[in-house]
């Protein structure tokens, strides 16, 4: 693609480095910015730079945070006996949005994936094992996606956590709320029958 | 969505203002930037700000440009007797990429659209009419999308250009190269028959 301006070409090339943004989309974004007030572009650029340079990772749980200790770890109302292990910051946001979890988190920063060259030492597993002895944690909730890599990571963790005398749980697998039985895959449906729960109060 | 960091929330909100970017995509972009070197974010921000603050519009044709007069208008090899009228900068880029056009351009900056409150005075039509008398232009090529608004704009322009004694042409409508007759809509197929062209050399 030939651009009539080097400045635009530069901006398009930078935007096209973002995931899911090709050169056509990048051009559309650049022209959108050109059409609107320059303050909009300045505040976008400032927000990005501020985020990238000032955001911290919580020393306790490795969640992103504006402070040394994140707002969840610092919150005295959270249940310190329950620790949820997730692979990614996005999982923390997803679980927080349910408002159903009141414990603490530990963000691994990925999953074990030999194909991508990610081993246990690349994840925040050491800091988890250091954190546990001096903590009030009684239960570990493994909330890791049930993929091949996720299951490997969960299995590795359960082996490492064996000696800590903790209750280890995992998020329930089953038919999604609102999901049709007919269209549920066999493994999920099978597991939802084996791990059936009490019907609840009537 | 609750974010563990105000800085991220800010960045996500700014990114989500871009067209086609929702809050989930914005979060993905923000986390992508956080995962990579901070230089990447800085150069993205710098490229955007530089583009927005330094890019000019060509005084002649209103194309985007790094200089007062764009590289197309300044190019002595372009055919100054042919002027292509387009609605948008993207159309210039698209036509330039064909390498089939060697004339000059005039960018209207939109099309007449009463619904969106865009009238002829909001477009660069006055500057077109001022530009023509002192120019070498002999032919006007209307390359405006064949939508309701585009056709209205083209019709308005032909009325305004009537007194200039110019040849007025429009881009050919027909079956796209590689297109199947069977799947071509009736209006296009009908027009491609009425406006049939010589078969070319055998």
Question: Domain for residue B111, yes or no?
Answer: yes
B38's tokens = 């901070």
Summarize the confidence of residues B171-184 as an average pLDDT: 84
Parent domain of A73:
64-170
Mark which residues 90-109 of B lie under 8 Å from A by CB: 90, 92-93, 96-97
B179's tokens = 């297109």
Q: Helix or strand or coil: residue A100?
A: coil
pLDDT of res. A179? 80
Residue B93 and residue A46: Cβ atoms within 8 Å? no
Question: Domain for residue B187, yes or no?
Answer: no
Which parts of chain A register pLDDT below 50? none
- DSSP letter at A171? P
Residues in chain B: 202
Chain B neighbors of A41, CB-CB under 8 A: 48-49, 51-53
Chain A neighbors of B20, CB-CB under 8 A: 25, 28
Rounded to whole angstroms, the Cα distance separating A131 from A144 reads 19
Of the pLDDT bands very low, low, confident and very high (cuts 50, 70, 90), residue B198 is: confident
pLDDT of res. A40? 93
Chain B neighbors of A95, CB-CB under 8 A: none
Question: Domain for residue A196, yes or no?
Answer: no
Rounded to whole angstroms, the Cα distance separating B148 from B122 reads 18
| In a shared domain, residues B14 and B37 | yes
- For the CA atoms of B37, B22, A66, A113, the dihedral, rounded to the nearest 10 degrees, stands at -50
| In a shared domain, residues B114 and B132 | yes
Could you read off the pLDDT of B69-88 as tens digits, one per residue? Answer: 999 999 999 999 999 999 98
Rounded to whole angstroms, the Cα distance separating B19 from A173 reads 36
Could you read off the pLDDT of A127-176 as tens digits, one per residue? Answer: 999 999 989 999 999 999 888 999 999 999 999 998 888 999 998 888 88
Reported ipTM: 0.79
Rounded to whole angstroms, the Cα distance separating B66 from A23 reads 20
Q: Residue B160: name the closest of B114, B128, B136 by CA.
A: B128
| In a shared domain, residues A154 and A82 | yes
Q: Phi, psi at residue A178, to the nearest 5°?
A: 85, -5
| In a shared domain, residues B109 and B48 | no
pLDDT of res. A190? 86
Question: In sequence order, which residues have a C-beta less than 8 Å from that of residue B102 and are 6 or more positions away?
Answer: B77, B78, B79, B82
Q: Name the helix (H) or strand (E) containing B189.
A: helix B186-194
Question: Domain for residue A186, yes or no?
Answer: no
| In a shared domain, residues A14 and A76 | no
Of the pLDDT bands very low, low, confident and very high (cuts 50, 70, 90), residue B201 is: low
| In a shared domain, residues A18 and A41 | yes
| In a shared domain, residues A148 and A86 | yes
Rounded to whole angstroms, the Cα distance separating A57 from A60 reads 9
The shortest CB-CB distance from A51 to any of B10, B54, B64 is to: B10
Question: Domain for residue A91, yes or no?
Answer: yes
| In a shared domain, residues A74 and A31 | no
pLDDT of res. B151? 92
| In a shared domain, residues A77 and A161 | yes
Rounded to whole angstroms, the Cα distance separating B151 from B153 reads 5
The tally of domains found in chain A comes to 2
The shortest CB-CB distance from A48 to any of B33, B55, B90 is to: B33
How far A202 CA sits from the closest chain B CA (Å)? Answer: 33
Mark which residues 39-98 of B lie under 8 Å from A by CB: 40-55, 63-66, 70-72, 89-90, 92-93, 96-97
Question: Domain for residue A184, yes or no?
Answer: no
Residue A51 and residue B2: Cβ atoms within 8 Å? no
Q: Which CATH number goes with the domain that contains A124?
A: 3.40.1360.10
Interface size A-B, in CB pairs within 8 Å, comes to: 172
* Residue found by looking up tokens 């976008």 in the block: A44
Of the pLDDT bands very low, low, confident and very high (cuts 50, 70, 90), residue B107 is: very high
| In a shared domain, residues B43 and B138 | no
Q: Which CATH number goes with the domain that contains B16?
A: 1.10.8.420
Could you read off the pLDDT of B41-65 as tens digits, one per residue? Answer: 999 999 999 999 999 999 999 999 9
Q: Do the beta carbons of residue A66 and residue A56 sit within 8 Å?
A: yes
pLDDT of res. B155? 94
Question: Domain for residue A107, yes or no?
Answer: yes
| In a shared domain, residues B132 and B83 | yes
Question: In sequence order, which residues have a C-beta less than 8 Å from that of residue A63 and are 6 or more positions away?
Answer: A57, A70, A72, A73, A89, A92, A105, A107, B4
pLDDT of res. A105? 95
| In a shared domain, residues A70 and A164 | yes
Sheet holding B79-86, edge to edge: B103-107, B79-86, B139-142, B167-170
Rounded to whole angstroms, the Cα distance separating B37 from B35 reads 7
Question: Domain for residue B185, yes or no?
Answer: no
pLDDT of res. A201? 65
Residue B18 clears pLDDT 70, i.e. is over it: yes
């Amino acid at each position: 693609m030939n651009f009539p301006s080097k400045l635009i070409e530069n901006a398009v090339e930078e935007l096209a480095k973002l995931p899911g943004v090709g050169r056509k989309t990048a051009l559309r974004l650049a022209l959108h910015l050109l059409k609107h007030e320059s303050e909009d572009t300045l505040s976008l650029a400032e927000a990005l730079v501020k985020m990238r340079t000032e955001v911290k990772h919580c020393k306790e749980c490795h969640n992103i945070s504006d402070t040394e200790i994140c707002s969840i770890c610092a919150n005295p109302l959270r249940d310190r006996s329950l620790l949820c292990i997730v692979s990614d910051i996005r999982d923390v946001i997803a679980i927080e949005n349910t408002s159903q979890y009141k414990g603490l988190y530990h963000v691994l920063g990925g999953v074990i994936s030999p194909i991508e060259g990610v081993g246990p030492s690349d994840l925040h597993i050491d800091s988890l094992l250091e954190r546990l002895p001096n903590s009030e944690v009684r239960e570990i909730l493994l909330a890791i996606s049930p993929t091949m890599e996720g299951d490997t990571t969960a299995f590795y963790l359960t082996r490492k956590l064996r000696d800590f005398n903790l209750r280890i749980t995992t998020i329930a697998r089953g038919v999604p709320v609102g999901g049709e039985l007919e269209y549920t895959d066999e493994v999920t449906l099978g597991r939802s029958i084996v791990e059936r729960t009490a019907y609840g109060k009537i």
